[in-house]
Amino acid sequence: MGKAMTSINIGKVKVSAEILRALTHPLRLEILDYIDKHHVVNVKSIYKELDLKQSITSQHLQILRQAGLVITKRDGKFINYAIDYSKIRDAVNAIDRFSSEVTE
């Protein structure tokens, strides 16, 4: 028999939903992959390399930032992006825990 849930923390569910929403879009996954391969990048290098419009790239980066999946640091007029690996690791671990509880 599975574990009984005693209550749902709506705040945590909303944060989790935002992270999952950010991770489920193919273009955002492609952007994350590009950042991962280059460690720290600015928006210009992303949209040029991935052949995207600057506005589209910025919109997707904003979603990744809001979900806490990327870290930003200003360098003059540029904003550099890096992945927050701990946030992604926490999301994957939470999904793994949930999946194992559902299948038990």
Give the mean pLDDT of 3-23: 75
3-state secondary structure of 70: strand
What's the predicted TM-score (pTM) here? 0.79
Residue 42 and residue 58 in contact, taking contact as beta carbons nearer than 8 Å: no
Indicate the fold that domain 10-98 takes in CATH.
Answer: Arc Repressor Mutant, subunit A (1.10.10)
Structural Rg of the chain based on CA atoms: 16
Strand ranges inside 35-103, DSSP E: 41-42, 70-75, 78-83
Q: pLDDT, tens digit, for every residue of 28-72?
A: 999 999 999 999 999 999 999 999 999 999 999 999 999 999 999
Q: pLDDT, tens digit, for every residue of 75-99?
A: 898 899 999 998 888 877 777 776 6
Give the mean pLDDT of 21-25: 90
Give the helix ranges, DSSP H, for 67-84: none
